Structure 1
Amino acid sequence: MSSKSLVICDQEEKYASAFAAYLTKKKELALQVQVCSDPEQARKIQQEKAIDILLISSGYSQEMRKEIQAGSVFVLTETASASTGPLEIPVYRYQSGEAILAEVICQCGLKGEEEGLFLQAAKKRQMRIIGIFSPVHRTGKTGYGLEMGKELAVSYNVLYINMELYGGIGGHFPEEGQTLADLIYYSRQESRNFGMILTTLAKHMESLDYLLPFRVSEDIKAVTPEEWTSLLMQIEQCAIYDVLILDIDEGIQDVYGVLRQCTEVMVPVARDPAARAKLFQFEEELRLLGYEDVKKKLVKKELER
C-alpha cells in the first residue's frame, strides 16, 4: 500500500518540525511527512507529488493557501474560533499533537479516507503478550516493564499498558492526556476505527508506545474479564504491535485469567524472607485453583532495589 503525502507549511519552523517528529513516531501511520516554511515550497512539493493532506498556517492569506492543491486542507489557526475558506478545515494550533492528529484522522474519516492513513496490521506470527506481575509490592516492576519495553522497541513494535489500580500518573507518566479508560470505552463500542483511536491515544517513551493508566481505581476494577479479553483481541487484530506488555495488578477482575492470556509472565522478586513467602503462597494458589499453565509461564526476575 502506498503511503499518503502530508505537508506541514508554517512560518514557525520549530513548530512544524516538532509536529512532524511527533507524526514520524507513529509507526502505524502510512504517511510521508514533509515540512516547509512558505507556500512556494509547498507548490514545488505539489509539482513532484500530489499532496493528500496539507496543514498550513493561517498566517498565510487565503489567496496564497488556495494556490496549493491538496486532498484535505487543514488551517492551523491562532484562535479556536477562527474562520477559514469554504474547503478548508480549521484546527487550533496551540493544542497537543494527539489532539491535532485526532482531528485530522476524524475529518479524513468523514470523507471515507481514514483507512489509507494506516499501515495494514498484517503479522506473520501471533502477538507476544508479556505480563508483569508480582504478589510483592514495591518491587520496581513498573520501571522494569518500561525499561524492558524500550529495549524491545528498538527491534519490534511494542505497546506498554499499565493495568495497576494506582498507576502513578505524575510519576512515570505525564499528568495530562487520555488514558486506558478511554481505550476501554471504544473497545466496548467495538468501533471499526479502533486501530485509528489507539493511534491517537498512544504516547511515546523513546521508541516505546504506551497508554496512560486509569485515573480512578474503581473504574479499572469495574472492567470485566470479557472486556479485557476483547481489548487484547482488538489490539492484536487492529494494531501493528509485535509485543504487548501488560503491567498487571492483583486488584483487577479475574487477574489469573488475564495472566493466562499472556505468553509469558515476568515476576520481579525480592530476596527477603517475607517476599519469598508471598511468592510461595502465590504459586501454591495457582496450583490449587487449577492455573498450572500460568505457573509454567512464570519467569522470576530479581531486581536491584
Structure 2
Amino acid sequence: MMRVLAVYGIDSSYGERFADYVNQKEKIPFTAMAFSNLEKLLQYSEEHTVEILLVDEEAREQVRDVKAKQVMVLCQGELVEQKEELPSIYKYQSGDCVMREVMARYCSQPVEPGLALLGTRAVVMGIYSPVNRCFKSSLALTLSQQLARDESVLYMNLEEYSGFSRLVSSDYEMDLSDVLYLYKQGAYNWMRLKSMVYNWGNMDYIPPVRYAEDLSQVSPDEMAMLIDRISRESGYDKVVVDVGQMGRGALPVLSVCDVVYMPVREDMVSAAKLEEFDEYLEEADDGSVRDKIQRLKLPSPGRIGRREGYLEQLLFGEMGDYVRQLLKGRGPEH
C-alpha cells in the first residue's frame, strides 16, 4: 500500500521542492505529493489515505476537514505549543532534518507490527581486528564512502569511543544508544530507526553511542540479531559495521556478516594477538566465521594535517585507492 505524505501551503514552490526531495530518497517509505489548492487536497483525501499532512502554519486552519491520519505544522519561526497540540517542525532546515523530525513524530504514534522496507537482504560487511592501531576505522569509513557512490549504504560503528562526531563536526539528538534502548524494550522497527539515521555525503549512518557503557544494554547475541534485522528490513544494499573491540563477544556479530575484513600488522605483538585469536576461533567457531575473514595489510592513510576534510582525504588518497582495488577484485556479491 502506498503511504502518502501530503504537503500543503501557501508557498507552492517549497512544497514541490520538498516532495521531489522525499521521492528521490529511496529509504523514505512515503510517496510525497504537494498541494497548493485546498479543494484538490480535500478531494484527494476523500478518495485516498493520507498518512501524514505537512501544512504551513499560516494555512493550518484551512485543513481541518482534510482526512489525514496525522497532521504536522511547518513553522517559519520559533516553535510554540498550540492548543490543538499538533506537532511542529521548523520549516527552513535541510530535507534530512525535516524528515528525521517527521519520522520521529510519526513513530510516536502506534506503528503497524512488522513494518519494514522489504527486499533483498543487505550484504553485511564487518570490519574487525584483534590488533590495535591498524587503521581499521579508516578502512570502514573509506569502504562505506566508496560503496555509497553506487549503492545505498548504512554505516554502523560499535566502538566505545569512535570519535566519529568530531570527524564530521556534528551533534546528534538521537544515536545508537537510542536504537539499542528501543530494541531492548521491544519497540524497535525500521520506521523508528529512520528517525535516527543521518547522512554524510552519499553514506547513511547511525551515530555511535554517546556513552561507552550504553553498548552493554544488549548482549553480543542481541547485537547480532539487531544487525541482522536491520540488514533484512531496511532496504539497504550494504551495511558496513565497524565492530570495535568486543573481545570474545565479537564472534556473534561476525557470524551475521557476509564478509569480514581484518586489518593486520606484522610486528611481534600484533602477530601474537592474531595467534591467540586464531586459537580462540579453533575452539569456539565451527568454521563459518573463519571462512568469511579476509586479512588485509592496509596502507597508511599518510599524513593528514587537518581534521577537517579527513574523510574526503581518505577516499581520494592511498586508502581510497586500496579500497577500490579491494572491491574490484574481491567484493562480495548478493
Q: Give the TM interval when normalised to the shorter protein.
A: 0.7 to 0.9
Read off the aligned partner of 1:122 and give its amino acid letter. G
What's the offset of the Cα at 1:298? Answer: 1.3
Measured in 1, the distance between the counterparts of 2:34 and 2:137 equals 37
Measured in 1, the distance between the counterparts of 2:128 and 2:25 equals 28
Give the share of equivalent positions with the same residue, in percent: 23
Aligned to 1:180: 176
Aligned to 2:320: none
What's the offset of the Cα at 1:43? Answer: 4.8
TM-aligned CA distance change 1:7 to 1:282, over 3 Å: farther
Measured in 1, the distance between the counterparts of 2:248 and 2:25 equals 32
TM-aligned CA distance change 1:230 to 1:92, over 3 Å: same
Between 23-32 and 144-153, the greater mean CA deviation after superposition: 23-32
Pick one of 201, 206, 220 that aligns with 1:225: 220
Q: What is the 5 A alignment of 1:274-289?
A: 274=268, 277-278=271-272, 280-289=274-283
Q: Within the alignment, does 1:213 sit opposite 2:212 as a pair? A: no
Between 210-219 and 143-152, the greater mean CA deviation after superposition: 143-152
Measured in 2, the distance between the counterparts of 1:268 and 1:133 equals 7
Aligned to 2:311: none
Q: Within the alignment, does 1:259 sit opposite 2:259 as a pair? A: no
Q: Is the 8 A contact 1:25 1:207 kept in 2?
A: no
Aligned to 2:71: 73
Aligned to 2:163: 168
- Please list the CA deviations of residues 193-251 of structure 1 after superposition, one character each: whole Å capped at 9, or x if unmatched: 51211111111223332111111112214531232133134324433234322111123
Q: Within the alignment, does 1:150 sit opposite 2:152 as a pair? A: no
Read off the aligned partner of 1:6 and give its amino acid letter. A
Read off the aligned partner of 2:177 and give its amino acid letter. A
SS of aligned partner of 2:86: strand
Measured in 1, the distance between the counterparts of 2:65 and 2:252 equals 58
Give structure 1 stretches of 5+ with no counterpart.
none
Read off the aligned partner of 1:285 and give its amino acid letter. E
Q: Within the alignment, does 1:31 sit opposite 2:35 as a pair? A: no
What's the offset of the Cα at 1:295? Answer: 2.6
**Number of aligned residue pairs:** 289
SS of aligned partner of 1:232: helix
What's the offset of the Cα at 1:34? Answer: 3.9
Q: Is the 8 A contact 1:169 1:215 kept in 2?
A: no
Measured in 2, the distance between the counterparts of 1:105 and 1:218 equals 26
Q: Within the alignment, does 1:137 sit opposite 2:132 as a pair? A: yes
Q: Is the 8 A contact 2:176 2:207 kept in 1?
A: yes
Compute the TM-score of the two structures, normalised by the length of structure 2: 0.71
Q: Within the alignment, does 1:273 sit opposite 2:267 as a pair? A: yes
- Please list the CA deviations of residues 146-168 of structure 1 after superposition, one character each: whole Å capped at 9, or x if unmatched: 33223333454432210111111
Measured in 2, the distance between the counterparts of 1:290 and 1:14 equals 57
SS of aligned partner of 1:171: helix
Q: Is the 8 A contact 1:165 1:221 kept in 2?
A: no
What's the offset of the Cα at 1:120? Answer: 4.0
Structure (1/2) with the larger strand percentage: 1
TM-aligned CA distance change 1:248 to 1:3, over 3 Å: same
Read off the aligned partner of 1:284 and give its amino acid letter. D
Read off the aligned partner of 1:189 and give its amino acid letter. Q
Q: Is the 8 A contact 2:165 2:171 kept in 1?
A: yes
SS of aligned partner of 2:167: coil
Aligned to 1:93: 90
Read off the aligned partner of 2:215 and give its amino acid letter. I
Q: Is the 8 A contact 2:179 2:193 kept in 1?
A: yes
Read off the aligned partner of 1:160 and give its amino acid letter. Y
Measured in 2, the distance between the counterparts of 1:137 and 1:205 equals 26
Give structure 2 stretches of 5+ with no counterpart.
301-334
Please report the RMSD computed on the Cα atoms of aligned residues, expressed in angstroms: 3.6
What's the offset of the Cα at 1:44? Answer: 4.8
Aligned to 1:238: 233
Aligned to 1:4: 4
What's the offset of the Cα at 1:259? Answer: 1.7
What's the offset of the Cα at 1:266? Answer: 0.4
